[in-house]
Structure 1
Amino acid sequence: MQKVEGLRSKLRKGRAYRREDLAQWSTSIDRHLSQLVEEGILKKLAQGLYYVPKPSAFGPTPPDENEVIKTYLKGDDFLVVSPNYYNSLGLGATQLYNRKRIYNHKKHEDVKLGNKVYEFRRKPKFPKKLSREYLVVDLLNNLKYLAEDEQMILENLQKNIDTFEAKTLQANAQRYGTIRTKKILQQMR
Structure 2
Amino acid sequence: MKKIDNLHKNLKRGNVYRRADLARFSSAVDRHLAEMVGEGTLQKLSQGLYYFPRQSAFGPVPPDEATLVRSFLKDDEFLITSPNAYNSLGVGTTQLYNKRVVYNHKRHGEFDLGGTRFSFVAKPRFPKKATLEFLLVDLVNNIASLAEDPEAVLQQVQRKAGSMDPVKLRQAVKSYGGVKARKVFAPVLSL
Taking structure 1 as the reference length, the TM-score comes to: 0.97
Given that residues 141 and 178 in structure 2 are in contact (C-alpha distance below 8 angstroms), is that contact kept between their aligned partners in structure 1?
yes
SS of the residue 2:54 aligns to: coil
Map Cα deviations across residues 32-75 of structure 1 (whole Å, 9 max, x no partner): 00111112110010010000111012111111110000000001
Q: How does 1:76-87 map to 2 (within 5 A)?
A: 76-87=76-87
Given that residues 162 and 188 in structure 2 are in contact (C-alpha distance below 8 angstroms), is that contact kept between their aligned partners in structure 1?
no
The number of aligned residues is: 189
Match of 1:158 in 2: 158
The answer to whether 1:179 aligns with 2:179 is yes
| Structure 1 gap ranges (5+) | none
Match of 2:51 in 1: 51
Match of 1:84, as an amino acid? N
Given that residues 52 and 62 in structure 1 are in contact (C-alpha distance below 8 angstroms), is that contact kept between their aligned partners in structure 2?
no
Q: How does 1:118-137 map to 2 (within 5 A)?
A: 118-137=118-137
Cα distance, 1:163 vs structure 2: 3.2
Cα distance, 1:104 vs structure 2: 0.6
Percent sequence identity over aligned pairs: 46
| Structure 2 gap ranges (5+) | none
SS of the residue 1:41 aligns to: coil
Cα distance, 1:158 vs structure 2: 2.5
Match of 1:101 in 2: 101
SS of the residue 1:118 aligns to: strand
Taking structure 2 as the reference length, the TM-score comes to: 0.96
Match of 1:134, as an amino acid? F
Q: How does 1:59-98 map to 2 (within 5 A)?
A: 59-98=59-98
